[in-house]
Amino acid sequence: MKWRKVGNIFTPNGDKDWAQSHASVPIADHVSGNIFRIYYTSRDIRNRSHVGWFEIDIEKPNIILAEANEPILAPGKIGAFDMDGVMASSLVRHNTEKRLYYIGWNKSIGVPFHNSIGLAVQAEPNGIFERYSDGPILDRNPSDPYFVASHDVAVDTECWHIWYLSGLNWLPGEPPTSTYNLRYAKSFDGINWLCDGTVAIDFFQPNEIAIACPSVVKDEDFWRMWFCFRGSNFNYRIGYAESRDAMNWKRRDEEAGITASESGWDSKMICYPHIFDHGDQRFMLYNGNGYGQTGIGLAILD
């Protein structure tokens, strides 16, 4: 596989109080024809994250057709799991509704943060996204004792699937550094998840300490996953894995088909991939330097 980079297609210009910087963890949602709405997570002046969107023609991706003036999802209530920020991670169409699965952020004492997974639902076309509840649908538990975060969700005829980041440990430091891999759980309704500690993607590269942001597609022969990983001595890179059953994965990072550029906005880091198909082409949205600070890029699978 080889991804052809189209280039940087979007970076917030700072004209919105809720989107002062960053356009992290992009997600594509097909509107009609060649038009896609791209959801992304941005930060305000207090470093709290919000979810917004912009629209493009996938054949002319450098032209922004429309853009949200207000966030579709903002930090939650005082004391809630998402009071310090929200980050969209997966969008699922189910019957007549859209489900936006997202990460909720809490500042913490002793460690920098606590993450959980929440759900917002758009019940009608072009309606607003409303929280399913003020609490998370997936939080730390006996199998995931530290935190859960970036994830992808899919539903098929048998069940709902989620592949999610699970915190493994906090390494001593000022501040402490988190380590995490990817795990798998299933559900019969997309809300109540059966977590048993099944590891989907584990450490493989030398000095690797963190694996995040799975993006999963199901082809006729395999489930395929792109994700990002980093080590104690290198920044995020994009990896790749395959599975026959959605649970047991084999890493083939050498086949990911995309790397950081030699210079420019994605030269120091490449992360947070999102894979989607349109027509007979497969596309990837991704972030570059600074965890999305330099914006969103687009690539096409040749």
> Would you list the DSSP string of 43-58?
E-TTS-EEEEEEEEET
- Domain total for the chain? 1
Q: Which domain holds residue 42?
A: 3-301
The domain that holds 15 is classified in CATH as 2.115.10.20
* Res 266: pLDDT: 98
Angle at 223 between CA 218 and CA 227, to 5 degrees: 105
- Tell me what pLDDT residue 236 has: 98
The phi and psi torsions of 20 (rounded to 5 degrees) equal: -80, -30
Share of the chain above pLDDT 70, in %: 100
The residue-averaged pLDDT of 165-191 equals 96
pLDDT at 291 over 90: yes
Task: Examine the pLDDT at 221 and tell me if it is beyond 90.
Answer: no
Q: Tell me what the mean pLDDT of segment 63-70 comes to.
A: 97
Residue 183 has what pLDDT? 98
- For all residues of the chain together, what is the average pLDDT? 97
- Residue 11 predicted with pLDDT over 90: yes
Which pLDDT score, from 0 to 100, does residue 158 have?
80
Nearest to 152 by CA among 223, 210, 57: 223
What are the C-alpha distances in Å from 106 to residues 30, 179, 184, 216? 31, 17, 23, 27
pLDDT tens digits, one per residue of 226-252? 999 999 999 999 999 999 999 999 999
pTM (whole model) above 0.85: yes
Average pLDDT over residues 61-90: 98
Distances (CA, A) of 190 to 92, 137, 140, 152: 10, 9, 17, 12
What's the pLDDT score for residue 223? 98
Query: Mean per-residue pLDDT for 6-13?
Result: 96
- pLDDT above 90 for 181: yes
Mean pLDDT of the 195-199 span: 97
| pLDDT of the residue at 268 | 98
pLDDT single digits (tens) 127-150:
999 999 999 999 999 999 999 999
Q: For tokens 């969103």, what's the residue? A: 296
Quote the CA–CA distance of 59 and 9 in Å, as a whole number: 12
According to the model, what pLDDT value does residue 237 have? 98
Answer whether residue 152 shows pLDDT above 90: yes
Task: Please tell me the predicted confidence (pLDDT) of residue 157.
Answer: 82
Mean pLDDT, range 151-177, rounded to an integer = 95
Contact 68, 50 (CB under 8 A): no
Q: Is the dihedral of CA 150, 39, 104, 260 positive or negative?
A: positive
Of the pLDDT bands very low, low, confident and very high (cuts 50, 70, 90), residue 20 is very high
The per-residue pLDDT for 145 is 97
Sign of the C-alpha dihedral computed for residues 55, 191, 152 and 49 taken in this order: positive
Which of 30, 27, 4, 24 lies closest to 12, judged by CA?
A: 24
Of 213, 219, 209, the closest CA to residue 1 belongs to 219
